[in-house]
Amino acid sequence: AQSVTQLGSHVSVSEGALVLLRCNYSSSVPPYLFWYVQYPNQGLQLLLKYTTGATLVKGINGFEAEFKKSETSFHLTKPSAHMSDAAEYFCAVSDGGDGGSQGNLIFGKGTKLSVKP
């Protein structure tokens, strides 16, 4: 079975400050990891994903995340927050069908990011 834990349902940062959103996962097989962003009244948009290879992955809008197997973590960072980054962020894990599922995503509860001017 797989699960995702996002620490902090709400995170508030000042414009220009570092953004760090935490995600820990559990998986019985090598995981596929994703970060999605959801703006109000919109669907989910992929920020970045890790499948295999380089453990530091870069995504859109200046976000990046590092897969750390030893820590079972996939934290999302951005060096300098912008007002437009205010949204809800979801970390998700998939086993790609190797662990008995159909590759469906298991989501964390989400972290709402606020950016103060």
Given the rule CB under 8 A, which residues bind another protein? 32, 34, 36, 42-46, 49, 51-52, 90, 92, 94, 96-98, 102-110
Comparison of 32 and 75: residue with beta carbon closer to another protein: 32
Tell me which residue of 83, 89, 74 sits closest to 10, measured CA to CA: 89
Minimum CB–partner distance for residue 98 and another protein (Å): 8
CA distance 33 to 66: 10
- Cβ atoms within 10 A of the Cβ of 80, count? 12
| Least distance to another protein, CB of residue 44, Å | 4
Q: How far is the CB of 77 from another protein (least distance, A)?
A: 20
The SS3 call for residue 66 is strand
CB nearer to another protein: give 66 or 98. Answer: 98
Rounded Cα gap, residues 71 and 96, in angstroms: 21
Task: Tell me whether residue 42 or residue 84 sits nearer to another protein (CB atom).
Answer: 42
